[in-house]
Each structure stands twice: as C-alpha cells, then as structure tokens.
Structure 1
Amino acid sequence: MAHGQKSHRWSLTQGSFSLALGLSLLSLLLLTVSAADEYDYYSWQSDNFHNGRFYTKQPQCVDIPADLRLCHNVGYKKMRLPNLLDHETMPEVKQQAGSWVPLLAKRCHADTQVFLCSLFAPVCLDRPIYPCRSLCEAVRDSCAPVMETYGFPWPEMLTCDKFPIDNDLCIPMQFTGNHVTQPPVSKACPPCDNEMKADNIMEHYCASDFALKMKIKEVKKEKGDKKLIAAQKKKRVLKQGVLRKKDLKKLTLYIKNGANCPCSQLDSLGSNFLIMGRKVDQQLLLMSIHKWDKKSKELKFAIKYMKSHQCPTYHTVFQ
C-alpha cells in the first residue's frame, strides 16, 4: 500500500435484519441505485463523526468520474464521499484506486470489482453498506496468490474479519463457483498474461521499478519460481529505477511461484523482449513481458510515450 496509508479502524455496524423481510441486498441495491441519482447531498444520522474520525464535511453523494477507472462502469453513477476506506477527497480516491485497476484484468475472481468498489466508491444509501465477509474471503482466496506473484501481500486494510458476517446487511457475492457466466481464470503466469495494448503497457511501466528491451538466454526452475537469465548482449534501458550497473551486467529475473505455469512468450527465446519488473527483497521480480514486435503500433506508441509521460505519484498496491 501507499506509504503513510491511513489507519482503517472500522467499527462495522452489526445490526441484523430479519430474513422474513424478504429483502436481499441485491434487490435493495436495484431499488436504490436509480434513486441514488436523485441525491445531490445526504446527511449522516447524527453528525460528521464516523468510524472514529471527525470529517470536516458531512458525507455527500458525488458522481463517479470517468477517470476513476476502477469503478466508473460498476453499475451505478453516484458514490458516497468520504468512502469506506476513509478517503475524504476525490483525488485521494483516484490515487489509491488506480493501483488496483490491473487486478481486474487478471480475472482472478468475478466479484473483484464489486468488492473493491463497495469500499472505494460505495453506493449512496442512508447508511454505509460494507461487503460481506464471505465476499472478501472469496476474492482474497482467488486474488491473493496473483498478487503474491508480484511481491504484494494481501493488504491489512482488507483483512476479511473486519467485515460483517453474511446474516447482516452487507454486499454478498454476485457470482458463485457454479455460476455459468463467471469469467474464466487464466492459467498463464500473471506477468505473461497481458494484452499488447498501450494503456496496459503504460500501467505496468509506471508500477515497475525498471523497464528494459533485452534478450533472454535461458529459463530455469528454482524453488518453485521461474528463473529468467538475461543474455549478455547490450540491453536498452527504458527505465533504470533501482537497477545498478552490476545488476544490468548479470541480470536475473524471477516469476514468483511460476515454476509450473505457462508463459507463451518464453516458448521461443530468439527475439527481444520488453521486460518490466520490481525489486523485492533483493530479488528482481518480473511484472510484465512482451515480445518486442516492431510492427506493433501499440508498442511503438507506448515506447514513445514513455519518454514524456509523468507517472502517478502513488505507490501501487498491485500491478
């Protein structure tokens, strides 16, 4: 998470609602999402003291901006601010939410967006509605292994026992394991499962400590990881970051827990590659790999854009 991340001590409302009412949260949301568009402003039940923090402004309903990429297509148009992660301003929401956008592309769980947006951009209701503990656990169990591949642990602020159990009013799982429309989970190594799109390349570029154009001499397995040994030929440095000269001379990268997952880019090592990575515990982890296709307009645009692009200042949670 970002350095200096605010402490999130949530006193989750534990008021239970009788099942005899026959109102699941899904139907509640369907009824209120359209109504939320009518809100310009709403007040809390008492004052602007909430979750142990004093806010300078009462919670209010605001439009979900188009550049809040994590949630702008989540299914409703307005969100409460401050949100349920104690972000008080929209720039803060955008800054922190942006680091989670790539997790959606990994399709690690069908409810990833529902879970994250329930916290980053909660729907406007007369009380905060948190995700159910089972929803958190399902997303965590599916997505934490993907995050670990990149050297990111499941963050403390999303510890699932902070959330209400399922017999309370909370946001449940939308997709179950038997749901036929659940998106398929890719079996490819996460760093190898990225589209050759300029936006995608730039997201990884900004989240990575370094970026190189280089050849790979050999691929090995080592203690459950996939080990990439760079060729000694000259490397083109696109972003040096934490890399030192001695790192460049004998460059070795790892796909964490990737010994047995496929990486089609590495089936043939004859070409150059666009390599992006992070340094974690003195080990260089591969974040993204693309074959260097000279004919790719997306790649050409991204490489040109790297020269002038100012990356966001947030520290990413996941990429």
Structure 2
Amino acid sequence: MNKKAIYFRYILISTLFIILVSLNYFHEEIMSFVPFFPNFLLPIFSIIVVIVTAYLLLQKELDVDNLKYQFLTIATHKFRTPLTAIKWITSSLTKEVTHEEKANFLRQIDVSVNRLMEVVDILTGLARFDHRMEYAYETTWIRQMIDVSLDKYVPEYKEKNISFSITADPEIPLVIIDKRKIQFVIDALFENAIRYSPPGGQIEISLRRKDQYVVFSIKDHGIGIGRNEISNLFKRYWRSNESKAAFPDGMGLSLAMVKEIIKRHHGNIWAESKGKGAGTTFFIKFPIAHTKMKRVTLNKVQGL
C-alpha cells in the first residue's frame, strides 16, 4: 500500500470518528431540534450517516483506481499499433532492400516513434483528468494531418488490402487546433475505420468547406451500427454487440476521448450509419480560422 492510500484511509477513519463523536456530543441539541425524533433511533441514524460518508469517500478512491485502469487500457491499445508497425518494418529491413526502400522504412519508423510520443502526451493528459489536459493551439491545414495518418497506417491497411479514396474542395481554409490532439483524433478514426472494414474494403475520406466550418469525414463499409445505438457511440465504455464480438479486447474509450478533444476545439463530431452491416461515417466540424475568430478563440484558450 502506497503512502497516498495510507493517508486516504487515515483521513477516512478520522472523518468517521469525528462524525460519531459529534453525533454523541450534540445528542441533546439534536433531540431538541427534532423533538419528535425517537431517542432509540439516534444510534441507527448515526450508523447510517457513517455508512453513507464512508461510501462517498471510498467511491472517490475507486474513481481514482478506475482512472488508473483506464489509463493502462488505453496505453496498451494505443501503443500496440505503432509498435506493430515498427516490428513489421524492422522485419522487412532484415531482407535485401534497395537504398530507397531502406530510406522509406526508416522514415516510417520515425513516423511511428513520433506517434508513440503523441500518444504519451495524450495519455499524460488523461492521467491528469480530461478537463485538465493542456492545449497548445495554432493555425494549420487538416489535409496535412490526413496525409500523416495515411502514412502511419500503411502496414494495417496493406495487410487487409484496404484502399482509400480522398475527395477535397480545391481550397480548404486554415483551422485553429492543437495539432497533437487533433492528430490523435484523426488517427483514432483511421484506426477505427481500418479495424472494422472487411478485407479488400474501401475507406472514403472527404474534406469540405461548409459555411464557416471545415468538415472532415471518414466512411468505412464495415459492421455499421444501429440507428438507435448511435447516441451511445461516444459514451465511455460503451460498445455495440457486433464490436464486442469482432474485437473483444476493446474498451470503448477512444471515441469518448475524441469527443472531449473536439469539444475543447469548439467543434462538433457525430456519426451516421444506415444500420448494421452498412458501414459508418464519422464527421468532424472545425471552425474556420478567420482573423476575428482566431483572436476570440485564442482569448478563450488563455482563459482555460
């Protein structure tokens, strides 16, 4: 048992003791305040108060333990993909390869290592509770981040023989985002689409301007989701029965984190599906980085 746990239990026992002593000491005052309160019920009332207090305090400790478990679960899940990529690349390097192929492999290793660092940053924020994650906003193009994700997932979509199609408006405005956090978001949606796509499937990516927003979407043709279940998609720990059957090791945490990150960007994320077996499309709306909007957004950021 660590020092923090010992300290917590000391506080818990002390608090319960103080409650019991106080109830006993102020026995007469309590009875005069509630004259019709039966005297014999006071000990029972005291026990109930102590039990409720103990439950509430212990619940806080359980929440901390749950957060630790959540951290380890996401860490295991998120580290697996880049580590698999590195393993695949290093295995390829043991064979005879051209100088150009070797340079490309080394570049992919660098991309995977950078991805691991990004995941560490995100998980560090999660360990400090979601609402305390630090954000560093800057102007950038979403298209560049899509290309980064495409490079990261080469081993995964090649293994399943998945093809990508990208359609984008000729001119896509800048957006104000935390690049690492949004890269995490796009990576999570890429990983989700690849995971639930059938072998030989296709993933469709779109980038459009709509009014004062840049709208990113990614569509797969995988297991889909029932319309009555869409509202649960971004809840922590929720997974559809089909998802559990296909990938039992998942925990239903990534999309909850994604939603929180998009919320902090003053954007919106949602999903659409025509039903089970019909695939799923995720949409994200990012506010365009107008000069005026940029100033307002940055002011909000400084106040976080």
TM range (shorter): under 0.3
TM-score, length of structure 2 as denominator length = 0.25
Structure number with higher relative contact order (C-alpha < 8 Å, ≥ 6 residues apart)? 1
- Structure having the higher Rg: 2
> Which structure dedicates a bigger proportion of its chain to strand?
1
